[in-house]
Amino acid sequence: MKNIRNNPRNIAVNILSEIDEGSYSNLQVNNEIEQHDLKVEDKRLITELVYGVLQNQLTLDYYLSPFLKKPQKLQNWVRNLLRTAVYQMKYLDRIPEFAILNESTEIAKKRGHDGIRRMVTGVLRSIERQGIPNVAAVSDPIERLSVEYSVKKWIIKQLINELGQKKTVSILKSINTPSKLSIRVNTVLSTTEKVTKGLEKEGFSVERSQVGSEGLILERVPYSLSRSELFQKGDIIAQDESAMLVAEVMDVKDGMKVLDACAAPGGKTTQIAEYVGQNGKVVAWDIHDHRLDLIKKNARRMQLSDRIEVEKQDASIVDDQYDNNTFDRILVDAPCSGIGLLRRKPEIRYVKDNLDPMTLHKIQLSILDAIAEKLKIDGILTYSTCTMLDMENQGTVKEFLEKHSNFELVKVKTDKSLKDDRELDTLNIFPDDFGSDGFFIANLKRVR
């Protein structure tokens, strides 16, 4: 190994160690890849190693546990080096074991000292000889599911309590499959038909979404989406299919004034801006400057800036900047635990704890309370999250309605009539329903 700096396995170890320190996987992968001069296949290997290890971290640690004397004393990068090695041995069949062992040993030697090199070599040779332990040997059923699907036990317990064993296992199976690359068409500039033809001409393989009415799925991607001519012209935006539903169900009409109270990065804001037309307006709030810049950037690229007012504002502390009864529609896409994003952002499985939903439930209520009276009578307040947990979803809606008798639930209806036969007025999309992110949506109508 001549140059460890550009070695894809070493870069993957760096990224995983940064994620351990709190970085987001998608941002860290993109940042690291941009900083190195890499071949396409090396970029793919880095991405596969990072997301593969993240999706299977608890499983990999279980496999390693019999071979480590003091795992708690390992440096982060050494632990991640061993995880990447075992991931390759267990899940990737195109890389010979001797190559995995040799390269891992070389990285250990160059980054650490001879003791670390010997330890890494010894662990991997022992695994090679003895094999990995069987997950079926775990006697506790929750612990077994936790190890098998690499999800913290508290999340599994909560999902089983709320959804039952069968649905929980179905969700757990689905979140370890790759995320789909989905896009939404900017209907102000183009149509799904024109975009489909344009992307196919560029070499993409395109299918219509079963979820969002303006959504498309890209199955063959010849190069990064951001390099596509249609993306650069603003005809499309990358957005999960479930996320597209939020603005779709708000029943926004031409000329309306809409508040997007937690707007960054702006995917839903631009979608609402398409619906309000040239005579309408979207007011987009966020509390962080760099996130406000993301909204502006998306709005400019999609040629919708004239319909969007971006303002720095904490949605839980609304002042007199706007009178009561100002907005025809309000969207609160609330801060949440993100448990619906376990497939797309696998690090969420490990960084959240069982106290987070209660803390977030209080924040969600504070936002809803603060903005409720800014809505006109007969207006719709749409509340959404990307979590599957009842406390942040049904629990927040229930408590809001108990405090605000001038609001009532109205049934959420999508253009494609998703789950129309359900009993509840709210809509839950789970990761195993359509292969999209988990989302919750409630429409609350102000009646007086």
Q: Which residues are catalytic?
A: 386
d(CA 238, CA 412): 24
| Cβ-Cβ contacts under 8 Å for 260 (sequence gap 6 or more) | 268, 269, 272, 282, 283, 284, 285, 331, 333
Do 370 and 383 meet the contact criterion of CB atoms below 8 Å apart?
A: no
Please give the C-alpha separations between residue 238 and each of 61, 221, 226, in angstroms, as whole numbers: 33, 13, 9
- Determine the residue type at 291: R
10 Å Cβ neighbour count for 435?
18
- Determine the residue type at 295: I
Signed CA dihedral, 274, 384, 142, 85: sign only:
positive
Q: What are phi and psi of 338, to 5 degrees?
A: 75, 20
| Cβ-Cβ contacts under 8 Å for 340 (sequence gap 6 or more) | 242, 385, 386, 387, 388, 429, 430, 431, 437, 438, 439, 440
Do 260 and 283 meet the contact criterion of CB atoms below 8 Å apart?
A: yes
Whose tokens are 């267990």? That residue is: 90
d(CA 129, CA 107): 22
Do 270 and 186 meet the contact criterion of CB atoms below 8 Å apart?
A: yes
d(CA 286, CA 272): 16
d(CA 86, CA 304): 48
